[in-house]
A and B are shown apart, each in its own frame.
Chain A
Amino acid sequence: MNENRHSVITVVIIIVGIVLLTKLFVIQVLDDSFMRRAERNAVQRIVDYPYRGLVYDRHGELLVYNNPVFDLMVIPKEFSIKDTAKFCKLFQIEKDQLIERYQKARKYSYVKPSPLIKQISNTEFAKIQDYLIDYPGLFIMTRSVRAYPDSVGASALGYIAEIQPRQLERDSADYYNQGDYIGHSGIESYYEKILRGKKGAKYKMVNVRGVDKGSFKNGQLDTASIPGENLQSTIDLELQKYGEKLMEGKKGSVVAIEPKTGEILSIISAPVYNPNLLAGAAYGKNYGKLLNDSTRPLFNRPIMAMYPPGSIFKIVQSLIGLQWGVITPNTTFACNKALVACHNHSSPVNLFGAIRNSCNPYYYQAYRLMINQDISSNTYTDTQIGLDKWHEAVEKFGLGNRLGIDLPSEKSGDVPSSLLYDRMYGKNRWKYSTIYSLSIGQGEMLVTPIQMANLAAIFANKGYFYTPHLIKSVDGDPKKIPEEYQIKHDVGVSAHHFDMVQDAMAEALYGTAMRAIISDITIAGKTGTAQNPHGEDHSVFVAFAPKENPQIAIAVYVENAGWGGRAAASTASLMIEKYLRGHIERPTLEDYVLVGDFGD
Chain B
Amino acid sequence: MFWSAILETKVRQDDLYINKIDWLTILIYLALVMIGWINIYAAVYDEQAAKSIFDFSINSGKQLVWIGTAILLITIIMVADYRLFDNLSLILFGFFLLILLLTPFIGKEINGQRAWFELGPFRLQPGEFAKFATALALAKFIEKPSFDLSLPKYQFQAILIILLPISLIMLQPDTGTAMVYTSFFIMLYREGMPQKYYILALVFIAISLLSLAVENNLYIVAAVTGITLLLILSGKKTWKRVLTFSLIGMAIIAYSYSLDLVVSKLPTHQQNRIMVLFNPDIDPLGVGWNVTQSKIAIGSGGFWGKGYLEGTQTKFDFVPEQHTDFIFCTLGEEFGWIGSLVVVFLFVALLIRLVFLAERQKTRFSRVYGYCVVSILLFHFFINISMTIGLFPVVGIPLPFFSYGGSSLWSFTILLFIFIKLDSHRIQLLGRMN
Contacts and interface: CB of A to CB of B under 8 A. Distances in A.
Assign chain B's interface to a size class.
35 or more
A13 B189 CA distance: 14
B48 A214 contact: yes
Given A23-B391, A38-B297, A9 B189 contact: yes
Contacts, number: 126
B352 interface: yes
A103 B337 CA distance: 39
A28 B340 contact: yes
Interface residues of A, number: 40
Given A13-B355, A41-B312, A27 B389 contact: yes
A17 B349 CA distance: 10
Contact of A31 (B299, B347, B355): B299
Interface stretch (B54-62, B163-171, B204-212, B313-321): B313-321
Contacts of B191: 2
B316 A37 contact: no
B316 A20 contact: no
Contacts of A9: 186, 189-190, 355, 371, 374
Interface in B300-323: 300-303, 312-313, 315-318
Contact of A28 (B47, B299, B386): B299
A12 B377 CA distance: 13
A42 B352 contact: no
B405 interface: no
Given A16-B378, A20-B382, A38 B313 contact: yes
A35 interface: yes
Nearest to B345: A17
B296 interface: yes
Contact of B318 (A2, A6, A32, A42): A42
A20 B385 contact: yes
Contacts of B352: 10, 13-14
Contacts of A31: 299
A207 interface: yes
A209 interface: yes
A14 B285 CA distance: 35
A56 B405 CA distance: 69
Given A27-B299, A35-B300, A208 B312 contact: no
A3 to B, nearest CB: 8
Nearest to B292: A37
A5 B187 CA distance: 10
B340 A38 contact: no
A34 B285 CA distance: 16
Nearest to A5: B190
Contact of A24 (B297, B318, B348, B389): B389
A17 B318 contact: no
Contacts of A208: 316-318
A39 B348 CA distance: 33
Interface string B166-197: 00000000000000000000100111100000
A41 B296 contact: yes
B136 interface: no
A42 B296 CA distance: 11
A28 B298 contact: yes
A14 B332 CA distance: 20
A44 B81 CA distance: 60
B381 interface: yes
A110 B293 CA distance: 14
A13 B299 contact: no
B158 interface: no
B299 A34 contact: yes
B359 interface: yes
A133 B312 CA distance: 27
A214 B47 contact: yes
B248 interface: no
Interface in A16-59: 16-17, 19-21, 23-25, 27-29, 31-35, 37-39, 41-43
B71 interface: no
B340 A205 contact: no
A1 interface: yes
A25 B192 CA distance: 36
Contacts of A110: 285
A5 to B, nearest CB: 5
A21 B47 contact: no
B58 to A, nearest CB: 16
Contact of B299 (A12, A35, A43): A35
Contact of B303 (A29, A37, A214): A29
Contacts of B359: 6
A213 interface: yes
A1 B192 contact: yes
A20 B47 contact: no
A38 B341 contact: no
B223 interface: no
Give the residue among A8, A38, A42, A206 with the most B Cβ atoms within 10 A. Answer: A38
A21 B386 CA distance: 10
Given A9-B186, A20-B386, A29 B337 contact: yes
Nearest to B313: A38
Contacts of B313: 38, 41-42
B358 interface: yes
B131 interface: no
A38 B285 CA distance: 15
A38 B303 CA distance: 15
Contacts of A10: 352, 355
B381 A16 contact: yes
A34 B371 CA distance: 38
B300 A34 contact: yes
A261 B89 CA distance: 107
A14 B350 CA distance: 11
B336 interface: yes
B241 to A, nearest CB: 28
Contacts of B344: 17, 20-21, 24
Nearest to B317: A208
B316 A213 contact: yes
A35 B341 contact: no
Q: Which of A8, A14, A34, A41 has the most CB of B within 10 A?
A: A34
B351 interface: yes
A10 B299 CA distance: 29
6 contacts: A16-B382, A24-B298, A28-B301, A28-B332, A29-B302, A35-B302
By Cβ-Cβ distance, the 3 closest A-B pairs, closest first, are A34-B299, A207-B316, A38-B300
Given A13-B378, A29-B337, A41-B293, 15 more contacts: A5-B190, A6-B355, A9-B190, A13-B374, A16-B378, A19-B391, A20-B391, A28-B332, A32-B302, A38-B313, A41-B318, A206-B316, A208-B316, A208-B317, A209-B317
